[in-house]
Structure 1
Amino acid sequence: MPELAAHVRDVPVNQIREITEAAWRTPGALVLSIGEPGFALPRHVLDAGMACLDRDETNYTPNAGLPALREAFAARFREEQGVDVGADRVYVVSGAQQGLHFAMSLLLSPGDGILIPNPGYPTFAMTSRLLGAEPVGYPLYPDHGFQPRTADIEALITARTRVLVLNSPSNPLGAVLSEGSVRELMELARRHDLWVISDECYEAFTYDVQHVSPARYDGGTPDEARVFTSLTLSKTYGLTGLRIGALICPPGLQQQMDNVMESIVSCVAAPSQYAALAALTGPQDYVEHAHRHYRSNRDAASAVLDGKNIPYLQAQGAFYLWADMSHASGGDVRQWVRRFLADSGVALAPGTAFGSIGEGWVRIALCGRQQDLLDGLSRLPARSGGGLQAR
Structure 2
Amino acid sequence: MPSRPVMPTLKTRERLSEVRYEIRGELARRARELEAQGHKLIKLNIGNPGAFGFRAPAHLQNAIVGDIDHTDPYTHQQGLPAAREAVAAAYARRGMPDAVADRVFIGNGVSELIDLSLRALLNPGDEVLVPSPDYPLWSAATILNDGRPVYYRCDPDNDFLPDPSEIETLVSSRTRAIVLINPNNPTGATYPRELLQRIVAIAAKHKLLLMVDEIYDQVLYDDAKFQPVAPLAGDVPCLTFSGLSKVHRACGWRVGWSLLSGDGEVVRDFLHAMDLLSALRLCANVPGQYAVEAAVSGPDTISALCAPGGRLYETRRAVIEACEASEHLDLVAPAGALYAFPAVIGAAARGFDDHDFALELMETEGVLVVPGSSFNVPYRHHFRVTLLPEPATMREVFARIERALARRAEAVTKVVPITARSRPAAA
Q: Distance in 2 between matches of 1:77 and 1:373?
A: 35
Aligned to 2:294: 278
Q: Distance in 2 between matches of 1:279 and 1:21?
A: 34
Q: Would the alpha carbon gap of residues 273 and 375 (structure 1) be closer, same or farther in structure 2, given more than 3 Å must change?
A: same
Aligned to 1:129: 143
My pick for the range that moved more, 365-374 or 121-130, is: 365-374
1:168 touches 1:203 (CA, 8 Å); kept in 2? yes
1:202 touches 1:235 (CA, 8 Å); kept in 2? yes
Query: Where does the alignment leave 5 or more consecutive residues of structure 1 unmatched?
Result: 386-391
TM-score (norm 2): 0.83
Letter in 2 for 1:261: S
Aligned to 2:202: 188
Q: Distance in 2 between matches of 1:354 and 1:214?
A: 23
Identity of aligned residues (%): 27
Structure 1 residue 2: Cα displacement: 5.5
Aligned to 1:16: 23
Q: Distance in 2 between matches of 1:161 and 1:41?
A: 39
Aligned length: 377
Aligned to 2:252: 241
Give the match's secondary structure for 2:131: strand
Give the match's secondary structure for 1:357: coil
Structure 1 residue 322: Cα displacement: 1.2
Match of 2:311 among 293, 301, 323: 293
Q: Distance in 1 between matches of 2:277 and 2:252?
A: 23
Q: Distance in 2 between matches of 1:170 and 1:290?
A: 18
Match of 1:51 among 58, 63, 66: 66
Q: Would the alpha carbon gap of residues 68 and 212 (structure 1) be closer, same or farther in structure 2, given more than 3 Å must change?
A: same
Query: Where does the alignment leave 5 or more consecutive residues of structure 2 unmatched?
Result: 1-8, 410-427
1:36 touches 1:368 (CA, 8 Å); kept in 2? no
Aligned to 2:388: 367
Aligned to 1:319: 338
Listed one character per residue, the Cα deviations across residues 41-73 of structure 1 (whole Å, up to 9, x for unaligned) are 2233223223333x2531011111112111221
Match of 1:258 among 262, 275, 300: 275
Structure 1 residue 299: Cα displacement: 1.4
Matched, 1:85 2:99: yes
1:337-348 equivalent positions in 2, closer than 5 A: 337-348=358-369
2:311 touches 2:390 (CA, 8 Å); kept in 1? no
Q: Distance in 2 between matches of 1:2 and 1:357?
A: 33
Letter in 2 for 1:308: S
Listed one character per residue, the Cα deviations across residues 354-374 of structure 1 (whole Å, up to 9, x for unaligned) are 012352001111012222111
Aligned to 1:5: 13
Aligned to 1:214: 229
Listed one character per residue, the Cα deviations across residues 276-327 of structure 1 (whole Å, up to 9, x for unaligned) are 333333333x323432322221112101111113210111110111100254
Q: Distance in 1 between matches of 2:285 and 2:377?
A: 37
1:65 touches 1:273 (CA, 8 Å); kept in 2? yes
Listed one character per residue, the Cα deviations across residues 117-151 of structure 1 (whole Å, up to 9, x for unaligned) are 11111111100110111111111222222111112
Letter in 1 for 2:244: L
Structure of greater Rg = 2
Matched, 1:159 2:177: no
Q: Distance in 1 between matches of 2:155 and 2:299?
A: 40
My pick for the range that moved more, 164-173 or 304-313, is: 304-313
Letter in 2 for 1:4: T
Greater relative contact order (CA < 8 Å, ≥ 6 in sequence) = 1
Q: Distance in 1 between matches of 2:90 and 2:389?
A: 27
Q: Distance in 2 between matches of 1:57 and 1:193?
A: 41
2:97 touches 2:234 (CA, 8 Å); kept in 1? no
Structure 1 residue 75: Cα displacement: 2.2
Give the match's secondary structure for 2:177: strand
Structure 1 residue 161: Cα displacement: 1.1
TM-score (norm 1): 0.90
Q: Would the alpha carbon gap of residues 294 and 111 (structure 1) be closer, same or farther in structure 2, given more than 3 Å must change?
A: same
Aligned to 1:108: 122
